[in-house]
């Protein structure tokens, strides 16, 4: 299976960020996590990609998904449920 490049922009206090990360782990998807609460460069990168200040933002090979949207995450990863 071709592994996609997945980045999760999150904060330590965001419950939906936890849901996204748990879901990716459950599916066996490796991801990079960027804490936009403490990393200014990551926050600027996220804002440039998503034009949003809310988290989570998931970047799957350039497909930007705002929030915990299981359907869009599955589509971007090629997961059929």
Convert the pLDDT of each residue in 19-42 to its tens digit: 999 999 999 999 999 999 999 999
pLDDT at 59: 98
**Strand boundaries in 1-81, DSSP class E:** 6-10, 32-35, 57-60, 63-66
Range of 21's domain? 6-77
Asked whether residue 45 is assigned to any structural domain, the reply reads yes
Contact 8, 58 (CB under 8 A): yes
pLDDT at 2: 61
Name the pairing type of β-strands 63-66 and 6-10. Answer: unpaired
Structural domain count, the chain: 1
pLDDT tens column, 59-77 = 999 999 999 999 999 999 9
Asked whether residue 40 is assigned to any structural domain, the reply reads yes
Asked whether residue 55 is assigned to any structural domain, the reply reads yes
Asked whether residue 1 is assigned to any structural domain, the reply reads no
Question: What residues does 30 pair with on adjacent strands?
Answer: none
Q: What is the CATH number of the domain that holds 40?
A: 3.40.30.10
pLDDT at 79: 87
Contact 3, 24 (CB under 8 A): no
Asked whether residue 71 is assigned to any structural domain, the reply reads yes
């Amino acid at each position: 299976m071709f592994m996609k490049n997945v980045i999760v922009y999150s904060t330590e206090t965001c419950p939906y960020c936890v849901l996204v990360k748990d879901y990716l782990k459950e599916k066996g998807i490796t991801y990079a996590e960027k804490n936009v609460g403490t990393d200014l460069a990551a926050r600027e990168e996220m804002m440039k990609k998503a034009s949003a200040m809310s988290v989570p933002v998931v970047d799957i090979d350039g497909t930007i998904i705002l929030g915990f949207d299981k359907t869009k995450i599955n589509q971007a990863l090629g997961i059929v449920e």
